[in-house]
Homo-oligomer: A and B are copies of this chain.
Amino acid sequence: MAKYLNQNPVLVAVDCIIFGYDGENLKLLLIKRAIEPEKNKWSLMGGFIGENENLDGAAQRILLELTGLHDVYLEQLHAYGTPDRDPIERTISVAYFALIDINKYNKQLNDQYHAEWFKLKEVPKLIFDHDRMVVAAMNKIRYQAALHPILFELLPKKFTIPQLQALYEQVYDSPIDNRNFIRKITASGLLIKQPEKDKSSSRRGAFYFKLDKQKHKAQFQSFLSLTIKPK
């Protein structure tokens, strides 16, 4: 069949803003760009879309290449298309953000990209419009996490409530009252208490919890207000 006439095709890339949490700090996974231009500058992990791939699939592939992880929480963020955003050739980029358990990643480290985790407040200048993307991703996560229980994606299967609270505090960059936090979280019914404690960060130890995946799935679409309302 005929093609559309007089149109100019462009490259389409996918860039991933990858968040991880180590139980203490919220971090971003960055790579050293391997090709010119801006070779060896810090960059988001990205790649061009394949011929038989859809956008989500490309994002999954890119994440797999960098981290070795399947089944990662991925969400489309925004498409960026300023004509000169890539100086070499016109490229539309569809940005995705990912939330991963940083410890899982560590086991399957793939180092060909010189990837490094940066604390959010210590993220270096990035190439092209990647800084904008990171800011947008952070805003979106704050938005989403205020309404849906997405932050569990950043935690290991077993986690403690103090860990969870610290994560929320990092995301919103503000302190949370622990009594109110515990009440809200337990009232949500999303957590299942485990018999064991994590003794690594206190003498007394904190009970582990697991996420009730049934309820998590069921409640995901219901708007929750798990924390602070973002201003």
Residues of chain A touching chain B, judged by Cβ–Cβ distance below 8 Å, are 1-4, 7-12, 36-37, 48-49, 51-55, 58, 76, 78-83, 87-92, 94, 146, 221-223, 229-231
Contacts and interface: CB of A to CB of B under 8 A. Distances in A.
Contact of A11 (B2, B9, B90): B9
29 contacts: A1-B37, A1-B87, A3-B88, A4-B48, A4-B88, A4-B89, A7-B11, A8-B51, A9-B10, A10-B12, A12-B12, A12-B92, A49-B81, A49-B92, A51-B83, A51-B90, A52-B83, A53-B83, A54-B81, A54-B82, A54-B83, A55-B80, A76-B79, A81-B94, A92-B92, A221-B231, A222-B231, A223-B230, A223-B231
Nearest to A7: B48
Contacts of A231: 221-223
B81 A12 contact: yes
Contacts of A55: 79-81, 92
B2 A88 contact: yes
A135 to B, nearest CB: 14
A140 B48 CA distance: 28
A10 B49 contact: yes
Contacts of A80: 55
